[in-house]
Amino acid sequence: MKKRVPIIVGPTAVGKTGLSLLFARRLEHVEIISADSRQVYRLMNIGTAKPTPQELSLVPHHFIDIKNPDEYYSAGKFGREARQKIDELFRDNIQPLVVGGSGLYIRALVDGFFEKQISDSLVKARLKQELNEKGSAFLHERLRAIDPISAERLHPNDGHRIVRALEVYDLADVPLSSLQQQESQQANFEPVFIGLNMEREKLYRIIEARVDRMIENGLVAEIEQLISLGYHSNLNAMQTVGYREVFDYFDSKYDFDEMIRLIKQRSRNYAKRQLTWFRKDTRIRWLSVDEFQDLNELCDEIMTTIILTSD
């Protein structure tokens, strides 16, 4: 029988981290698999709302601080590596707990994916910018190095399809030509999905308060340090909400107050996109944080949900 893995999902700032730490402490031998596409990067702590060193010390975490900001990482690579880590934990009699808001990472982990399911607006925008700046022939040569079959099939002037093939590779870490010939493989565990949500306006207020704390805690100084170490705004990691606005502020595209306003607005928009993504998955049992007195009561409900699901 497949082993069950609880997976806590939901929009940014809804309280996934605090709940996961409490949940892990309630059970014995639990380790957390972080499914966050930005917390994988070292030195990007404040703007990604990464768990604090104290929080990380409470429960072992995996897939946090595993890459430098200029290193390549993808949903496909995460899916394979996280499946392997979950197998290792089960062999050691440790219960994995997956927590995160990156829908594509969770899909790669649980379901694998077909080519048509792979898309990311930030990756696509970055590739289109390269297409405009360097031309389709330049991108075609890059495609030839990683996916010669697709490169042979596509004309060097077909920028749209070249961008699509590169987008798939960047996200899945598999050539488009290979992905089109293989079936998506389900994970060898049974996911137990728990989705957290709350009243929309309350969530937005929490998001805006979090942005204010990020500024107070030194988000601008964090990005100044990244620049001093040679990391630049064109890196994929720096397309994260909060980071790209500070880079634009440094480039005098707007003033400090407008920078904060945009971070808040785009963080709210990101939360909305996360909810739209997850609501398509009928396996998720949704719980409204507003309906519980505190995290302990919410944790009780989740533990009951998991027990009922295992019957």
Residue 100 pLDDT: 97
Counted residue by residue, the chain has a size of: 311
Residue 184 pLDDT: 65
Query: What is the pLDDT averaged over residues 281-299?
Result: 94
9 residue type, one letter: V
CA distances for 84 relative to 9, 31, 66, 109, angstroms: 21, 14, 16, 10
Residue 114 pLDDT: 64
Alpha-carbon gap, residue 158 to 135, rounded angstroms: 10
3-113+184-309: CATH superfamily:
P-loop containing nucleotide triphosphate hydrolases (3.40.50.300)
Neighbours of 259 (CB within 10 A): 21
Q: Which residues contact 26 (CB under 8 A, 6 or more apart)?
A: 299, 303
Residue 311 pLDDT: 46
Q: What confidence tier does 182 reach under pLDDT thresholds 50, 70, 90?
A: low
CB 171 within 8 A of CB 120: yes
pLDDT tens-digit series, residues 113-147 = 766 778 888 889 889 999 999 999 999 999 999 99
CA distances for 260 relative to 204, 212, 272, angstroms: 14, 8, 19
Q: What confidence tier does 183 reach under pLDDT thresholds 50, 70, 90?
A: low
CB 171 within 8 A of CB 115: no
* SS3 state at 297: helix
Residue 206 pLDDT: 98
pLDDT tens-digit series, residues 184-225 = 678 999 999 999 999 999 999 999 999 999 999 999 999 999
Alpha-carbon gap, residue 115 to 161, rounded angstroms: 13
> DSSP assignment of 42-64, as one string?
TT--TTTTPPPHHHHHHS-EESS
CA angle 123, 13, 302 (to 5 degrees): 110
Is it the case that residue 288 has pLDDT exceeding 80?
yes
Alpha-carbon gap, residue 303 to 4, rounded angstroms: 13
Alpha-carbon gap, residue 244 to 258, rounded angstroms: 13
**Residues forming CATH 1.10.20.140 domain(s) in the chain:** 117-179
**Residues forming CATH 3.40.50.300 domain(s) in the chain:** 3-113+184-309
Neighbours of 182 (CB within 10 A): 11
139 residue type, one letter: L
Is it the case that residue 308 has pLDDT exceeding 60?
no
Which CATH architecture describes the domain 117-179?
Orthogonal Bundle (1.10)
Short-list 140, 181, 186, 189, CA closest to 160: 140
Query: What is the pLDDT averaged over residues 34-52?
Result: 97
Q: Which residues contact 80 (CB under 8 A, 6 or more apart)?
A: 173
Tokens encoding 240: 């994260």
Q: Which residues contact 81 (CB under 8 A, 6 or more apart)?
A: 63
CB 32 within 8 A of CB 62: yes
Q: Mean pLDDT score of the chain, rounded to an integer?
A: 92
